[in-house]
């Protein structure tokens, strides 16, 4: 393609909310034959809501949620925000909820959070966090997790003073049109893969819903980048689509990194292409534009 064609292609992209950072990104996109999608905030809307709670201890739901919110209010994680939002339903002043103070708060990346609230040790997160903290998971909690994950929701375990006190089910539905985008990519001979820090059960359910066969779950940021390099080593030209800080190593490693515009600044900086309208369809827009610009016209 001539420099003029590249300029035109980049301009057309910009006018459609697809920001292409340079000619190299536009060129690489037409060769992509494998796309790795982050789950939360990329395939899903990224606006999780609490949909169910199962208490395993004899305590009031309000008491449970106050302890939980006091802990999670210190976290930036979208799951934490959904829990705090839900907890507001149990207090009088929803605008200015006065959660008890949390001491010794720590966030364990990819696993959950921990703090002392009202002299109780609160631990909130996934199964592996509970295992790391030597907290036994009762059968009832296991059952609830399996059920929740089967519905493509995320189950969060809440431990109070070393015992699992409840399970919170959080739903984050697919973005509109997600299934269609995956099926169009298939017809374009492009393979799709899901990677997520979330658990295997939820990942499998979401992947099934969207029509993706290959899944990598419980992935740390470096695991996501490593998957990109593995696929490249087997000959794929790989695009990564993500929105989070935890996606940035993979966005950099990919042949084409695409960030969701509503994502974190770090992801947007790491990406070669930014999808300003937060639409998954624009993954196809970007590839089409590249194909039009770079495929030889004879
Ligand atoms: P994702 O790729 O889904 O954004 P993360 O790596 O951020 O995943 O988190 C992985 C998992 O760790 C979450 O699905 C959740 O189970 C748990 N987790 C992380 N942070 C929190 C938190 N603040 N509260 C509860 N659970 C959390
Ligand atoms: Mg994400």
User: Tokens at residue 284, please?
Assistant: 């196809």
Predicted pLDDT of residue 298: 38
User: What gap in Å lies between CA 5 and CA 220, rounded to an integer?
Assistant: 39
* Ligand 1 midpoint to CA 125 (Å): 7
Show pLDDT as tens, one digit a residue, over the chain (298 residues).
788 999 999 999 999 999 999 899 999 999 999 999 999 999 999 899 999 999 999 999 999 999 999 999 999 889 999 999 999 999 998 888 999 999 999 999 889 999 999 999 999 999 999 999 999 999 999 999 999 999 999 999 999 999 999 999 999 999 999 999 999 999 999 999 999 999 999 999 999 999 999 999 999 899 999 999 999 999 999 999 999 989 999 999 999 999 999 988 999 999 999 999 999 999 999 999 999 999 755 3
Ligand 1 and 149: CB distance under 6 A: no
- Same-fold call for 3-45+173-294 versus 49-171: no
CATH for the stretch 49-171: 3.40.1110.10
- Angle subtended by helix axes 139-150 and 200-210, to nearest 10: 20
Q: Is 113 in the pocket of ligand 1 (CB under 6 A)?
A: yes
Class of domain 3-45+173-294: alpha beta
ipTM: 0.95
Helix (H) or strand (E) holding 18: strand 18-20
Q: Is the CB of 79 under 6 A from ligand 1?
A: yes
Sequence spans of domains, the chain: 3-45+173-294, 49-171
For residue 126, give the 3-state DSSP assignment. coil
Report the interhelical angle of 61-72 vs 78-88 (nearest 10°). Answer: 140
Q: Whose CA is nearest to atom 22 of ligand 1?
A: 112
List residues with catalytic annotation.
Answer: 38
Give the DSSP H/E element, type plus range, for residue 240.
Answer: strand 238-242
Q: Among 125, 199, 203, 242, which residue has the most ligand 1 atoms within 8 Å of its CB, making it the best to mutate? A: 125
């Amino acid at each position: 393609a001539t420099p003029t064609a590249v300029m035109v292609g980049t301009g057309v992209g910009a006018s459609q909310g697809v920001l292409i950072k340079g000619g190299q990104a536009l060129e690489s996109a037409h060769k992509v034959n494998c796309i790795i999608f982050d789950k939360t905030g990329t395939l899903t809307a990224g606006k999780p809501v609490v949909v169910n709670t199962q208490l395993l201890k004899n305590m009031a739901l309000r008491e449970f949620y106050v302890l939980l919110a006091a802990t999670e209010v210190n976290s930036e994680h979208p799951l934490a925000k959904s829990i705090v939002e839900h907890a507001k339903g149990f207090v009088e002043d929803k605008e200015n909820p006065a959660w008890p103070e949390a001491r010794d708060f720590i966030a364990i990346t990819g696993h959950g959070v921990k703090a002392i609230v009202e002299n109780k040790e609160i631990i909130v997160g996934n199964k592996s966090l509970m295992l790391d903290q030597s907290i036994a998971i009762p059968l009832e909690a296991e059952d609830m997790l399996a059920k929740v994950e089967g519905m493509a929701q995320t189950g969060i375990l809440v431990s109070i003073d070393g015992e699992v006190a409840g399970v919170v089910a959080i739903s984050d539905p697919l973005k509109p049109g997600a299934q269609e985008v995956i099926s169009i990519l298939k017809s374009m001979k492009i393979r799709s893969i899901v990677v997520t820090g979330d658990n295997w059960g939820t990942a499998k359910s979401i992947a099934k819903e969207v029509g993706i066969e290959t899944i990598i779950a419980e992935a740390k940021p470096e695991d996501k980048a490593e998957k990109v390099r593995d696929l490249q080593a087997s000959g794929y030209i790989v695009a990564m689509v993500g929105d989070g800080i935890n996606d940035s190593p993979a966005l950099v490693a990919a042949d084409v990194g695409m960030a969701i515009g509503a994502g974190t600044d770090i992801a947007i900086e790491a990406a070669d292409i930014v999808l300003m309208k937060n639409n998954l369809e624009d993954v196809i827009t970007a590839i089409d534009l590249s194909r039009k610009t770079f495929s030889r016209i004879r």
